[in-house]
Chains A and B, each alone.
Chain A
């Protein structure tokens, strides 16, 4: 029953906070178990969904389709990994417990968000996930974290205000907030100025939440200043679900593809792809570079979505999943490097591949996957996005997308050169591999990257392409 995925985390928060001391120690295993349960659940329903999903609507949360189950899987994987990172980096026990509670809330929010088919419920869960992450970013109560959280809060508040206003307008138009009713009403009044205002407000809000350029101001600060576990969770999945997934879902199910939305997505996607990659080239803070890379990759997802074809949408969703895997992996590696060396400044690092072989190799795999080097998973999603763009006649954007993967490779090679490859820098001689709490998730994620990449030619017909069949 999908609703359990929302109820269980909320229940966990309630139970764990009962005034009994031993319960505190159960928080970590509970979080891992929940994530495993969710992953098993998502994997279990995925084949059925892809084979022609019977959408059950008995409860308000029971709507399952391929897109939802892929997202549930991604949420589970990233949450699982983040809990490990949290264990390795949180420090005090009390803080670890508090952060775990917030992770539960964020996961409940994200799960609800991908399961609902109603604008207002979507808004509620979106806020739940976002608010939990504001607090998580500031959890260490340092200046940087507070600043990052504040920026995110302000931009997010603006975005949610726009969305809420839009929901109000749409409610007034259709008399309901369920996806189906709103979509019908929108079809009936397609080119009305009133409708366009509502759509514009909503899309604007979602673009801010996705951190698309030029609405990205909050993102690098939030990602780089957050505690390691939080930036893993945030970059891997929170902003992807609250922004990008919501955008995909609403464009597909509610707003529909009009030439105007397509143009909007193409333009913002292209700006993000190129400007994000260029900005990443200039960074010397490891996590900031990853943050800009995130912006650039979200651009690809938008480009794939913008084609409006089955192939393009499937590719966009696949890239969203891949991004969750490889970006999480990179943030885990960044956490390992920061923990072992005490710095994120790439100019003070060097030759770590020799000292931290697992971190070095997995980071290499993740970077190649991001840049679209075969045979890793990211190659296939990027290939399909470019192919979809080309086949839909957006030749210029296809060229731009493929050219930008060169920029992606360039900034990642510069990261490799400064951090991992090269001679061991003075001061890094005694660095060792971080503990299993960080290497184990790295290996897990790298295995997914390679496994999905190698198996994809066989999976594409059964799992990937049916994603379009919403």
Chain B
């Protein structure tokens, strides 16, 4: 199989395969569950097969001549890195869903949307044309709208609508920005745009509009309000949307558009880190006050996304590589936190941390997995999260904006407080609810796997950081 075929399959198999799931589900439920996982694993396997070629310096392209330009899909190191992160965490989440979602109705719809979502994510990652990017961007929005409203009670559907409207607002503004890019650069294709914009930074109006789209998707101030509300979704969905994949779309688009292809006017290297800093700090403060378990973790996500934006926007090789590594480490660890929260919620029917306690006695694996993921998000060595946080802060400290870096150090300190507070209140102390045993084996295995990945990501830091560094060097044009 040629490389471009593999790349196409990584996108096409889950996108179109997902449409079969409801049909299969009508016949046999376990076949459907297996097929759903298989579709995501195809993406994962395909991404793994692409590592070798892209690390040897190849850029895989697949072109379709259309009325809107030539290039459609392209795989470079950045894209393959992102595809790996998304499909890895996605596969674990689908696996966890086997246990979690088996108690509820509308499972066919659930698997259809989750796999479609992941397929669209793959398409977005490999897109090398603004319109293709936008199309997949909106498919993820539709899927997440439906998934957030999965439980269907009026209040929940209202929140799903809210999240859709906020992200759709951002997306339409971004589309207008794309039209301005098209006007300035004369093409929808990223390579052509890159060539046309050499020496001519993008107009600030276009940057601002596109940034609105990115911030809305990554739930960063001032468009963050939908994310905590979206916690009403099933827990694997919140893990998928809020931790691992959806919110990373905005970050990835930032890297793909502004770091790789379109030079930004100077001023934005101050504005974007400043927005990220405020967003991180405010969200950390909100997390300190929150008592709903899933909302709290959602605020923590908003806060951590700020670190990623800092790494990507401040400039410099170290910070950029740290930002990429952060996407991986945070995806794994935060995914683990959400899935643990899902087990707690499903067993105790309670999301209020003030009414929980002492769960470590009956749910030891979940508690320890939660603790490990917490440590990783906080950034305690030797877990994966430490290295990414260190690289981002150290890289940023080389830049001119010391006050921004200091605010991030403060945020990192707050992170320790609010996450440890959760762990202590939920798992330590006296039991306040009827004690339940662990969740189903599938679910416990999933969180244990994510915790192990967090540890492995730290102990074997050489491999992911090598990948991220190489990707960064390619982005910066230091190597082909």
Contact indicator B172/A402 (Cβ below 8 Å):
yes
Q: How far is the CB of B233 from chain A (nearest CB, A)?
A: 14
What A residues does B445 contact at CB under 8 A?
A: none
Q: How far is the CB of B21 from chain A (nearest CB, A)?
A: 14
A10 within 8 A of B: no
A390 within 8 A of B: yes
Q: How far is the CB of B166 from chain A (nearest CB, A)?
A: 10
| In the bound complex, CA of A375 to CA of B141 (Å) | 12
| In the bound complex, CA of A142 to CA of B67 (Å) | 50
Contact indicator B153/A422 (Cβ below 8 Å):
yes
Q: Which single residue of chain A is at the shortest CB-CB distance from B182? A: A387
| In the bound complex, CA of A323 to CA of B66 (Å) | 24
Contact indicator A421/B135 (Cβ below 8 Å):
no
Q: 1/0 per residue B172-202: CB within 8 Å of A?
A: 1101100110110000000000000000000
Q: 1/0 per residue A402-431: CB within 8 Å of B?
A: 110110011001100100011100000000
How many residues does chain B have at the interface if contact means C-beta atoms less than 8 Å apart? 31
Q: How far is the CB of A30 from chain B (nearest CB, A)?
A: 37
Contact indicator B153/A406 (Cβ below 8 Å):
no
Q: 1/0 per residue B144-166: CB within 8 Å of A?
A: 00000100111001100100110
Q: 1/0 per residue B110-149: CB within 8 Å of A?
A: 0000000000000000000001001100110110000001
B168 within 8 A of A: yes
A70 within 8 A of B: no
Residue in contact with B165 in the complex, picked from A399, A413, A421, A464, CB distance below 8 Å: A413
What B residues does A383 contact at CB under 8 A?
A: 131, 175
Contact indicator B172/A403 (Cβ below 8 Å):
yes
| In the bound complex, CA of A373 to CA of B180 (Å) | 19
What A residues does B138 contact at CB under 8 A?
A: 373-374, 379
Q: How far is the CB of B135 from chain A (nearest CB, A)?
A: 4
B169 within 8 A of A: yes
| In the bound complex, CA of A377 to CA of B30 (Å) | 36
| In the bound complex, CA of A406 to CA of B176 (Å) | 13
Tell which of B139, B157, B164, B173 has the most Cβ of chain A within 10 Å.
B157
Q: 1/0 per residue B43-77: CB within 8 Å of A?
A: 00000000000000000000010111000000000
Q: Which single residue of chain A is at the shortest CB-CB distance from B146? A: A421
Residue in contact with B173 in the complex, picked from A351, A390, A402, CB distance below 8 Å: A402
A457 within 8 A of B: yes
| In the bound complex, CA of A413 to CA of B167 (Å) | 14
Residue in contact with B67 in the complex, picked from A368, A423, A460, CB distance below 8 Å: A460
Contact indicator B168/A457 (Cβ below 8 Å):
no
Contact indicator A457/B67 (Cβ below 8 Å):
yes
A461 within 8 A of B: yes
A386 within 8 A of B: yes
| Given known contacts A368-B142, A405-B172, A406-B165, A417 and B158 CB-to-CB distance under 8 angstroms | yes
| In the bound complex, CA of A409 to CA of B141 (Å) | 12
Contact indicator A398/B176 (Cβ below 8 Å):
yes
Q: How far is the CB of B216 from chain A (nearest CB, A)?
A: 12
| In the bound complex, CA of A383 to CA of B135 (Å) | 12
Contact indicator A390/B152 (Cβ below 8 Å):
no
Q: How far is the CB of B370 from chain A (nearest CB, A)?
A: 32
What B residues does A402 contact at CB under 8 A?
A: 172-173, 175-176
| In the bound complex, CA of A375 to CA of B172 (Å) | 14
Tell which of B68, B134, B173 has the most Cβ of chain A within 10 Å.
B68
Contact indicator B157/A374 (Cβ below 8 Å):
no
Contact indicator A409/B135 (Cβ below 8 Å):
no
User: Which residues of A from 374 to 408 have beta carbons under 8 Å from B?
Assistant: 374-375, 379, 383, 386-387, 390-391, 398-399, 402-403, 405-406
Contact indicator B176/A399 (Cβ below 8 Å):
yes
Contact indicator B165/A409 (Cβ below 8 Å):
yes
Contact indicator B165/A417 (Cβ below 8 Å):
no
| In the bound complex, CA of A266 to CA of B161 (Å) | 31
| Given known contacts A373-B142, A375-B139, A402-B173, A458 and B180 CB-to-CB distance under 8 angstroms | no
Contact indicator B183/A391 (Cβ below 8 Å):
yes
Contact indicator B183/A390 (Cβ below 8 Å):
yes
Contact indicator B179/A387 (Cβ below 8 Å):
yes
Contact indicator B139/A406 (Cβ below 8 Å):
no
Residue in contact with B154 in the complex, picked from A371, A403, A413, A417, CB distance below 8 Å: A417
Q: Which single residue of chain B is at the shortest CB-CB distance from A458? A: B66
Q: 1/0 per residue A422-463: CB within 8 Å of B?
A: 110000000000000000000000000000000011111100
Contact indicator A421/B67 (Cβ below 8 Å):
no
What B residues does A458 contact at CB under 8 A?
A: 66-67
Residue in contact with B66 in the complex, picked from A368, A405, A460, CB distance below 8 Å: A460
| Given known contacts A402-B176, A405-B172, A422 and B157 CB-to-CB distance under 8 angstroms | yes
Q: How far is the CB of B369 from chain A (nearest CB, A)?
A: 34
What B residues does A457 contact at CB under 8 A?
A: 64, 66-68, 131
A465 within 8 A of B: yes
| In the bound complex, CA of A148 to CA of B169 (Å) | 36
Q: 1/0 per residue B373-385: CB within 8 Å of A?
A: 0000000000000
Q: How far is the CB of A54 from chain B (nearest CB, A)?
A: 25
What A residues does B152 contact at CB under 8 A?
A: 351, 421-423
Q: How far is the CB of B164 from chain A (nearest CB, A)?
A: 6
What A residues does B106 contact at CB under 8 A?
A: 354
Contact indicator A421/B149 (Cβ below 8 Å):
yes
| In the bound complex, CA of A6 to CA of B141 (Å) | 46
| Given known contacts A386-B175, A403-B172, A465-B67, A409 and B164 CB-to-CB distance under 8 angstroms | yes
Residue in contact with A406 in the complex, picked from B64, B66, B157, B168, CB distance below 8 Å: B168
What B residues does A413 contact at CB under 8 A?
A: 161, 164-165
What B residues does A373 contact at CB under 8 A?
A: 138, 141-142, 168
Q: How far is the CB of B308 from chain A (nearest CB, A)?
A: 26
What A residues does B134 contact at CB under 8 A?
A: 374
Contact indicator A417/B157 (Cβ below 8 Å):
yes
| In the bound complex, CA of A467 to CA of B260 (Å) | 37
| Given known contacts A398-B176, A457-B68, A406 and B169 CB-to-CB distance under 8 angstroms | yes
Residue in contact with A417 in the complex, picked from B161, B168, B169, B183, CB distance below 8 Å: B161
| In the bound complex, CA of A413 to CA of B64 (Å) | 34
What B residues does A423 contact at CB under 8 A?
A: 152-154
| Given known contacts A391-B183, A458-B67, A460-B68, A374 and B139 CB-to-CB distance under 8 angstroms | yes
| In the bound complex, CA of A465 to CA of B66 (Å) | 13
Q: Which single residue of chain A is at the shortest CB-CB distance from B161? A: A413
What B residues does A391 contact at CB under 8 A?
A: 179, 183
Contact indicator B154/A410 (Cβ below 8 Å):
no
Contact indicator B135/A375 (Cβ below 8 Å):
yes
| In the bound complex, CA of A399 to CA of B142 (Å) | 23
| In the bound complex, CA of A398 to CA of B176 (Å) | 8
Contact indicator A386/B67 (Cβ below 8 Å):
no
Tell which of A373, A457, A465 has the most Cβ of chain B within 10 Å.
A457
| In the bound complex, CA of A421 to CA of B160 (Å) | 11
Contact indicator B165/A410 (Cβ below 8 Å):
yes
| In the bound complex, CA of A459 to CA of B68 (Å) | 10
Q: Which single residue of chain A is at the shortest CB-CB distance from B170? A: A406
Residue in contact with B176 in the complex, picked from A372, A390, A459, CB distance below 8 Å: A390
Contact indicator B179/A461 (Cβ below 8 Å):
no
Contact indicator B154/A422 (Cβ below 8 Å):
yes
Q: How far is the CB of A328 from chain B (nearest CB, A)?
A: 22
Q: How far is the CB of A397 from chain B (nearest CB, A)?
A: 12
Q: Which single residue of chain B is at the shortest CB-CB distance from A461? A: B67
Q: Which single residue of chain A is at the shortest CB-CB distance from B105? A: A354
| In the bound complex, CA of A422 to CA of B165 (Å) | 17
What A residues does B131 contact at CB under 8 A?
A: 374, 383, 457
| In the bound complex, CA of A398 to CA of B173 (Å) | 11
What B residues does A421 contact at CB under 8 A?
A: 149, 152, 157
Q: Which single residue of chain A is at the shortest CB-CB distance from B129? A: A457
| In the bound complex, CA of A409 to CA of B399 (Å) | 42
| In the bound complex, CA of A399 to CA of B179 (Å) | 11
Can you list 5 A-B pairs, Cβ within 8 angstroms, ordered by A? A373-B141, A390-B183, A391-B179, A405-B172, A423-B153
Nearest 4 A-B pairs (CB), nearest first? A460-B67, A457-B66, A374-B135, A461-B67
12 other A-B residue contacts (CB within 8 Å) besides A351-B152, A406-B172, A460-B68: A386-B176, A386-B179, A387-B179, A387-B182, A391-B179, A410-B161, A417-B161, A421-B157, A457-B64, A457-B67, A458-B67, A465-B67
